[in-house]
Amino acid sequence: MNTLGSYKCYCQDGYRAQPDGSCRNARTCYHANCQYGCEVIKGAVRCTCPSPGLRLGPDRRTCVDIDECVSGGGVCPRRRKCVNTFGSFVCKCHLGFKLTYINGRYNCI
């Protein structure tokens, strides 16, 4: 920036002035305010979710659950029902059945 009889340097938006006068990328995970974590790719900060059963919400910072039981991602063995959990799902026996370990396998009996 031109000043009276001199000039002054400023960093562009997203960069921070360093003691040596250079500019450094200010976009870091520390400043991103992500719910779980983030990654920096080519200078851009992107929040991430810790499980494939979660996706970024509309605010692009928090993670929201994907209901695998509705989306078809939660496939349970025969005689078990899918129960959604935050970030995943579990397969439980239907009412009246009990999960039993027989011959090296779990079955609902």
Per residue in 40-91, pLDDT tens? 887 788 899 999 899 999 999 999 999 999 887 778 887 789 999 999 999 9
Token pair in block for residue 48: 């991430």
How many whole angstroms separate alpha carbon 90 and alpha carbon 79? 13
Q: Supply the pLDDT for residue 107.
A: 85
Name the pTM for this structure. 0.62
Going along the chain, which residue ranges are E strands?
A: 2-3, 6-7, 15-17, 23-25, 37-41, 44-48, 54-56, 63-65, 80-85, 88-93, 99-102, 105-108
Please say whether the beta carbons of 57 and 65 come within 8 A: no
| CA separation for the pair 85, 82 (Å, rounded) | 10
The confidence band for 14, taking pLDDT boundaries of 50, 70 and 90, is low
